[in-house]
Amino acid sequence: MAAKPFNWPNGAKAAVSLAYDDTLASQLDVALVQLNQHQLKASFYLQLSSPLLTARLSEWRAAAAQGHELGNHTLFHQCSASKPGRDWVAAENNLDTISAVQLVQQIRLANSMLFAIDGKTERTFTAPCGDELAGGQPYLPLIYDDFVAIKAKTGPVVANMAQLNAYAVEVIAPVGSSGAELIALVKQAAQYGTMVNFTFHGIGGDHLSVSAGAHAQLLAYLAANRDIYWTDTFLNIMQYVKAQQPAD
């Protein structure tokens, strides 16, 4: 048999982290509206240089006041241009040509900007493109002390909470998924007694999108089954998870 089941709050079977990367209009126009309709809390990973940040600053600030997390997704969303399919990475945003130390300085400035927006001193980070090397050097270990947890790259539903590394959490990044497909993933997490981490981009618009209808189906299912699924910000979930883990 598997290891002893993980103890989620209020007898829940699984935790669900809904996250939205890249500071997109459809996240405010569609995702946030649906989340608030169902009283579900989520994490929005902002790219601080996005024009959408300043253009709709009061709405991002209001989302934080409603209990959603504003997470750090760096200032400029640098990704490695040397990887396959990365023709879109602009030369000035090439993660291969910035040093890890410079990137860390930018990430800390992004945290300061987020603090100016929401007044919070604790938050989580999502690595742009799931890339872990800046200038050829692993940069994530340099920011462990700056964050409660990190969504590092894509992967399956968490298989075992005892082995979860809070600084290398794997996410599912659905694109074009149906509501039924999304619900199947949360059911899998309940079966395992673990957590599922979604990283969405556009919802009913923008890039790498999931339809508004599929997203609404997932949220309705989570809201109707709150006894089974603890849906919350990645920050809140990971603070709880870390408190359960033996100190090292």
- Smallest distance, Å, CB 74 to Zn ion? 8
User: Does 128 help bind Zn ion (rule: CB under 5 A)?
Assistant: yes
Backbone phi, psi, residue 91, to 5°: -55, -40
Judged by CB, which is closer to Zn ion: 21, or 232? 21
Looking at beta carbons only, is 27 or 231 nearer to Zn ion? 27
d(CA 20, CA 4): 32
Min dist CB 29 to Zn ion, Å, is 18
Q: What is the DSSP letter of 245?
A: S
Sign, CA torsion 224/166/171/59: positive
User: Which residue, 126 or 233, has its beta carbon nearer to Zn ion?
Assistant: 126
User: Closest residue (Cβ) to Zn ion?
Assistant: 21
Q: Is 206 in the site for Zn ion (CB under 5 A)?
A: no
- Residue 123 backbone phi and psi in degrees, to 5: -160, 180
Would you count residue 69 as binding Zn ion (CB under 5 A)? no
Q: Does residue 131 interact with Zn ion by CB under 5 A?
A: no
Compute and round to an integer the Cα radius of gyration of the chain.
17
CB 76 within 8 A of CB 49: yes
**DSSP codes, 151-162:** EEEE--S---GG
Q: With contacts defined by CB under 5 A, name the span among 13-21, 116-124, 202-210, 222-230 that binds Zn ion.
A: 13-21
Residue 22 within binding range of Zn ion, rule CB under 5 A: yes
Least distance (Å) from Zn ion to the CB of residue 19?
Answer: 10
- The CB-of-246 to Zn ion minimum distance in angstroms stands at 33
CA 98 to chain centre: 24
Q: Which residues bind Zn ion (CB under 5 A)?
A: 21-22, 128
